[in-house]
Every structure is written in structure tokens, then in C-alpha cells.
Amino acid sequence: MIFLVPIAYCLVPVLRFFMQRQERFGLAERVIRIGFWANIVLMVMKLLAGHYGRSEAVFADGVESACDFVAIFSTLVALRIGRKPFDAKHPYGHGRAESISAIVVAFLIIATGAGIMVNSVSVIVTGTQRTPQAIAVVAAFLTIVIKEWLYRNSIGAGRTLESPALLAVAKDHRKDALTSIATLIGVSGAYLGYSVMDPLAAGVTSFFILHIGYGTFRNAAHELMDAVPPPEFLNAVTALAEGVQGVEHVHEIRARRSGQFVIIDLKLDMDPEMTVKRSHTIATEVKKLIFEKFPNVGDVMIHINPHEEEHEDLIRL
């Protein structure tokens, strides 16, 4: 039975990795589900309050929440796809589904902002604005409170998991909170007799929406283009690798995001007289340490170079 001990010891890092993976996706899905159901409630509340409370701004806010409903649904689908392990057709996993979802969310935000802007200009030009009722004011205030709470909940989890989909949804919640502040000002002013403030608030809100939509699109596109992670992260990985006995130098490090995970390419300089078996053991130790210290790393691919010897790095990119 004693021969089972080293086998169990080797399995511990593997089991820990899969447990961390499940915890990450479980947290992300819980946050998304909370936002999903909250948006349904807010959407119905604002559409009814805007229609029966005769407020263009609150009704437009409700239409915008309907777009959020579609956006969060697409994010839930992306998270389910992204949690699938790698397979023969997707050897790097399915994490990019989250960035694609963020792109979809961005386009929905931009389309919503453009639609609200066009509608508000039309109402002001034609002079068809109406005096809203108190129910519209209450709906705008409740939206601010709920959406700000959803933002803080989502941004905390998104930063912890470094999830582009969660960060995109968090920005969408903050956009809703900002939208509802402008909506509250406009609908309150219109309620007090300045009716033009209602569609004017909807128009001003559209600029916030367009700005956040552009930022969300830019970040997601940045990741889909394999942009480099923060230099602090690369420096920390480099220092960790160079601290392993047998690694003379990190010749090169590259990394790219795949959803919540980072995939790293490492070129390590080692003694040219070292055996293949020994260099493989050292490379495995480096990879194990990186996994232990950085739970957001999904894979590490290591290439061995002979230390202080001329060699050519072949690349076609």
C-alpha cells in the first residue's frame, strides 16, 4: 500500500486545480444569475412605470433593461461554454466564448444608446413630451439603488476571477445606475412642471450608454487580439521561474487571455549539458509553481534553450 503514497501526492495538485476551476465558474454563474433575475424585475417595473407614469425617460430605461436581459442571457450561455475543458477541436479550451459574449453585450449597449438618443430628439423636436406621474420618479430611484448594488457585487467577482464577461456585465450595471441618475433628475424636473427635462434626460443618458458600450467593446476586442496581460503579472511569473534551481534565465515570456484564464508561453535557458529527463523535471516544477501561485493561469507551455549558446528563434508572425 505504501506505493500509493507518491501517486496520491502527485494527484493533489491536479485535484486542487479542478476544484479551483469549479469554484471560479460557480461564483461567476451565481453573480450572473442574480443580475439576470434582478434585471427581469427592473425591466417589467420600468416599462410599466414609464408607460402608465407617462415618462419617456423611464420607459427608455425599461427598453434598455430589456437589452440587458438579452445581454446577461448571452453571458450565461458564454460561461457554460467557457467552462468546458479543452477538446480535439479546441485545444486551448473554450474561454474565448466570454470575450465574444462581451462583444455582443457591447453592441447591445451601443445600439440601445443610439435608439434612446434618436427617440429623445424626436420627442423634443415634435414637442410631444408629457408630464410624468410620481410612480415614474419612484421607479427611477429604486433602479439606482438596485443597480449600484449589482455593480458592486459583479465588479468584485469580476476582478477576483479576472473574467471579461463578468466585468462587461458589471460595467453594464454601472451604466444602468448612471442612466437612472440622469433619468431621476429628468423625470423629477418634468414632474415638477418642466416637461422637456424628461426627454432631455433620456438624451443625456444615451451619451453615458454609448461611452460604456465603446469601452466594453474595446476591452473585449483587446483580449480577442491576444493583447499582452499587465507587465506586473509577466514580471512576477518571470521571477518565479528564475527562482527554480536549474533555470539559468527566462529567455522569453508571452501570455494571452482565454476567458478567465491566462495561457503562458515560456522559453527557459538551461545548462546545454543537462539531460532531457532533468530539464523536463525542472520545467514541470516551474509549471507546478506557477499553477500554485497564479490560480488564473490555465496552461503553461515551456520551451528549453541552451544557456549562453547561439540559437535561432523561428517565428513567422
- Among 42, 92, 100, which Cα is nearest to 68's? 42
Ordered alpha helix ranges (H), 53-163: 56-82, 96-126, 134-161
Give the amino acid at 26.
Answer: G
Quick one: cell of 140? 427611477
Model pLDDT, residue 255? 92
List per-residue pLDDT tens for the chain, 317 residues long.
444 344 434 434 443 444 455 566 677 778 878 888 888 898 899 889 988 998 888 888 887 777 777 776 777 777 777 777 777 887 777 777 878 888 888 888 888 889 888 888 888 888 888 888 899 899 989 999 998 999 998 888 888 877 777 887 788 788 788 878 888 888 899 888 888 898 888 888 788 778 878 888 888 888 788 777 888 999 999 999 999 999 999 999 999 887 778 899 999 999 999 999 999 999 999 999 999 999 889 899 999 999 887 777 777 66
Model pLDDT, residue 269? 94
- pTM of the predicted model as reported, rounded to 2 decimal places: 0.64
CATH 3.30.70.1350 in the chain, residues? 231-306
307 class by beta-carbon count within 10 Å (0-12 exposed, 13-18 middle, 19+ buried): middle
* 231-306, CATH topology level: Alpha-Beta Plaits (3.30.70)
Q: Is 90 helix (H, G, I), strand (E, B) or coil?
A: coil
Instruction: Mention every residue, 6+ apart, whose C-beta is less than 8 A from residue 52.
Output: 133, 135
Q: Is 95 helix (H, G, I), strand (E, B) or coil?
A: coil
Of 3.50.30.10, 2.60.40.10, 3.20.20.140, 1.20.1510.10, which CATH number belongs to 4-224? 1.20.1510.10
Model pLDDT, residue 90? 78
List residues bridging with 255 in a β-sheet.
264
CATH 1.20.1510.10 in the chain, residues? 4-224
Vertex 194: Cα angle to 141 and 45 (nearest 5): 30
